[in-house]
Amino acid sequence: MEAGIDGAAFAGLLQAWDPQAELQNAWALTGGVSARITALEVRHADGTVQRYVVREHGEIDRAGNPHIARDEFRLLEIAHAHGVACPKPVFLDESCRFFANPVLVIEFIAGETEFAPDDLGAYVRQAIGQLLLIHQVPANAELGFLPRKDHGYGPAPAVLDDTMDEPRIRAALAAYHLAPERNRRCLLHGDFWPGNLLWADGQLAGVIDWEDAHTGDPLADLANARFEFLVAFGAAGLELVTSEYTAHSTLDLHDLAYWDLAAALRVCGKIGGWGLAAEEEANLRARHAAFVADALLRIGAVG
């Protein structure tokens, strides 16, 4: 058992969902920002050994939604039933008998993030294939527990980030007339970027980290993917994402510039706290500036 892991708590959690199983090991997983993530290795009564992931959401997420563990469990059930390559939910414990907060147990997906694919085209085709599949899940009553996103900006902070053109971005978004329901509302992942894609042997193994999921215009997810793949892979990443998505969908793209600016707004005022190396931060800022400049030109043409 890894140092710092409360083995008794995880053993108790395991007994609550499978009394015949035995906890073999537990270790912390890195990469979680909004949740504490722990991997479990479990031996079941039939002798099979499987791995699982336990997610305990952080204070910020719980403050925004006290039922976030329950909602994520239900969301993963729905997405998995639609064929999305998301982790399968296994168990939900809201009793707080073993941990201070509710926890969610999901299947362990073996894979790694990939930021230097050998074949960027194949990488994007698989990634966007999953995004299109996610967007096939309609925003009906079944997803009524998810927040609904009708516009691309929230309250402005006390100090705007001039270094990333935040004042102009917010002004353009506020001035734009966003026509409702140009596209059918659907499930949105909310944070679709290379860091939330797991790969194994060149194949997309899973889409993870669904705590930002909501419903709304699929252009919001597409715009975020355009920006994130630009940052990760340069102009080729943005172009491949756009062409692959539009080749397999019939979305009305009239408002894409608006959602591009909304995607760019998400990182304003935050980059300085991410601890990026100087070259990495400079690259992000340069690509953000180019993305914003292009979107401002386009939003002026269609607004």
The pLDDT of residue 63 is 83
Reported as a single tens digit per residue, the pLDDT across 67-116 is: 999 999 999 999 999 999 999 999 999 999 999 999 999 999 999 999 99
Give the angle 35-151-231 at the CA atoms, nearest 5°: 60
**Average pLDDT in the chain:** 94
| Residue 54 in tokens | 């336990």
| Residue 277 in tokens | 């190396």
Backbone phi, psi, residue 34, to 5° = -100, 0
Residue 2, pLDDT > 90, answer no
Q: How confident is the model at residue 32 (pLDDT cuts 50, 70, 90)?
A: low
The pLDDT of residue 219 is 98
- Report the C-alpha gap between 123 and 294 in whole angstroms: 25
| Residue 287 in tokens | 């690509």
Closest CA to 237 of 220, 224, 250, 249: 224
32 or 145, greater pLDDT: 145
Mean pLDDT throughout 182-205?
Answer: 97
The pLDDT of residue 303 is 57
Q: How confident is the model at residue 160 (pLDDT cuts 50, 70, 90)?
A: very high
Task: Return the domain boundaries, the chain.
Answer: 7-107, 120-302
The 10 Å Cβ neighbour count of residue 44 is 12
Closest CA to 204 of 258, 300, 125: 125
The pLDDT of residue 62 is 85
Domains 7-107 and 120-302 are alike in CATH topology: no
The CATH architecture one would assign to domain 7-107 is 2-Layer Sandwich (3.30)
Radius of gyration of the chain (CA): 20
Mean pLDDT throughout 122-127?
Answer: 98
Mean pLDDT throughout 214-229?
Answer: 98
**Residue length, the chain?**
303
Reported as a single tens digit per residue, the pLDDT across 273-298 is: 889 999 999 999 999 999 999 999 99
Q: How confident is the model at residue 300 (pLDDT cuts 50, 70, 90)?
A: confident
Reported as a single tens digit per residue, the pLDDT across 38-72 is: 999 999 999 999 999 999 988 888 888 889 999 99
Reported as a single tens digit per residue, the pLDDT across 138-149 is: 999 999 999 999
The pLDDT of residue 105 is 97
SS (H, E, C) the chain: CCCCCCHHHHHHHHHHHCCCCEEEEEEECCCCCCEEEEEEEEECCCCCEEEEEEEEECHHHHHHCCCHHHHHHHHHHHHHHCCCCCCCEEEEECCCCCCCCCEEEEECCCCECCCCCCCHHHHHHHHHHHHHHHCCCECCHHHCCCCECCCCCCCCCCCCCHHHCHHHHHHHHHHCCCCCCCCCCEEECCCCCHHHEEEECCEEEEECCCCCCEEECHHHHHHHHHHHHHHHHCHHHHHHHHHHHHHCCCCCCCCHHHHHHHHHHCCCCCHHHCCCCHHHHHHHHHHHHHHHHHHHHHHHHHC
User: Domain 120-302 in CATH: superfamily?
Assistant: Aminoglycoside phosphotransferase (APH), C-terminal lobe (3.90.1200.10)
